Amino acid sequence: MDRPNPITPQLLAGFGIAIVFAAVVPHLVSDFTSFQFTQAMAYGIALLGLNILTGYNGQFSIGHSAFYAVGAYTAAILLYHFEWNHYATLPVAALVAFAVGFLFGLPALRLEGLYLALATFAFAVATPQLLKFDAFEHWTGGVQGLFVPKPEPLIEGLSADQSLYYVTLAIMVLLMAVAWCLLRSRSGRAIMAIRDNPIAASTMGINTALYKTTTFGISAMYTGIAGALSVFVTEFVAPDAFNFFLAVNLLVGSVVGGIVSIPGVIFGGLFLVFVPNFAQDISRAYPFVPPPWAIFGIFLILAIYFVPFGVWGAVERALAWWKRKSAGLGG
């Protein structure tokens, strides 16, 4: 049987080109644009978590903003109250988010489809309020949030924004590679088997409960790391940043990029950062066009209509078509 995600020379070549391109970007654009790309990559990592859960394992979540907040606040609290090194907070944020995700996955196991979606929704709406809750205020900073400065550049000659861009890029590539290895392993096939037919999967001897909760934990871990990176980027956390709108946005990014894909998350992240800005720019430039969020909606509908499997789904289909065509010509 073919493994999912086979390694091909084309894949390696494409990967190499993408890395080289990503590496030169911060030297071609302004610090502000690098900052936007870094934001997009942080979103991309969160989307990766959502894709593993929803796209590959078939569990719905509209509450990933909560795991994003868990990661963000873990990093912020360690930075603000304990003055940790920025990058040392990342593994802790990952662990805490994993633990929260795993624990949340336990009761969620009894819930399927829409009911699970509602449970995660409840988690998402509760999070901003919990962060403002007086008992935690000493740690979370309450409504005012916490300010944490950006990490210093790692290499002399780079600006803080450029340095953070490279760090985020490296982490994203690493996490994508981990996800890719996970999903083409035996465990990955089990994760997907549970999505495709849970009864058949458990008949084959897959421990459905363990796989589902662990997948939930891994998904939350990815999103938590993204949340921690987002703190480095914006230098600030406040409860209002992690509202339900973020949860929906993450789902939008996942679907636009391609929810059953790994590279698609890059396009999803770019969509989340640049399309609202673009919509606002054209709304500002031409008074006769509708307001920005209406334009965003139009872009979203266009994306779903023209690339129903997400951007990466469209790329895969185009590659398959090209392969068939060249094979046909050759024969």
d(CA 272, CA 230): 14
Amino acid sitting at position 263: P
Span interacting with another protein, options 51-59, 196-204, 236-244, 307-315, rule CB under 8 A: 236-244
Site for another protein in 262-281 (CB under 8 A): 273, 277, 280
Contact 229, 168 (CB under 8 A): yes
What's the Rg (C-alpha) of the chain? 20
Q: Which residues contact 223 (CB under 8 A, 6 or more apart)?
A: 45, 46, 49, 50, 64, 67, 68, 71, 97, 101, 250
Could you give the CA distance from residue 176 to residue 181 in angstroms, rounded to a whole number? Answer: 9
Contact with another protein (CB under 8 A) among 3, 16, 88, 245: 245
Which of 10-18, 119-127, 174-182, 286-294 is the region at the interface with another protein (rule: CB under 8 A)?
286-294
Considering CB under 8 A, how many residues would be counted as binding another protein?
A: 33
Helical spans, DSSP H, in 29-63: 31-50
Q: Does residue 185 interact with another protein by CB under 8 A? A: no
* 98-123 burial: b if 16+ Cβ within 10 Å, else e: bebbbebbeebeeeeeeebbebbbeb
CB 245, min distance to another protein, A: 7
CB of 96 to another protein, least distance (A): 20
In contact, 226 and 67? CB cutoff 8 Å: no
Binding of residue 230 to another protein (CB under 8 A): yes
Write the DSSP symbol of residue 237.
Answer: E
Task: State yes or no: residue 291 binds another protein (CB under 8 A).
Answer: yes
Interatomic CA distance for residues 293 and 285, integer angstroms: 15
Query: Quick one: which segment of 2-10, 232-240, 256-264, 310-318 binds another protein (CB under 8 A)?
Result: 232-240
Q: How far apart are the C-alpha atoms of 127 and 94, rounded to whole Å? A: 18
With contacts defined by CB under 8 A, name the span among 79-87, 145-153, 194-202, 258-266 that binds another protein: 145-153
Out of 21, 293, 321, 322, the residue judged to bind another protein by CB under 8 A = 293
Q: Give the CB-side neighbour count of residue 223, counting CA atoms within 13 A.
A: 34
Site for another protein in 96-135 (CB under 8 A): 134
Say how many C-beta atoms besides its own lie within 10 A of residue 226's C-beta: 33
- Residue 74 touching another protein (CB under 8 A): no
Instruction: Please state the closest distance from residue 32 (CB atom) to another protein, in A.
Output: 4
Residues recorded for the chain: 331
Sign of the CA dihedral running 177, 180, 184, 188: positive
Residue 241 within binding range of another protein, rule CB under 8 A: yes
Residues 19-48 contacting another protein, CB under 8 A:
30-32, 35-36, 39
Among 243, 278, 299, 313, binds another protein (CB under 8 A): 243
In whole angstroms, the minimum distance from the beta carbon of 236 to another protein comes to: 4
Q: Which of 15, 84, 111, 142 binds another protein (CB under 8 A)?
A: 142
- The residues that touch another protein, with contacts defined as CB under 8 A, are 30-32, 35-36, 39, 134, 137, 142-145, 147, 149, 230, 233-241, 243, 245, 273, 277, 280, 284, 291-293
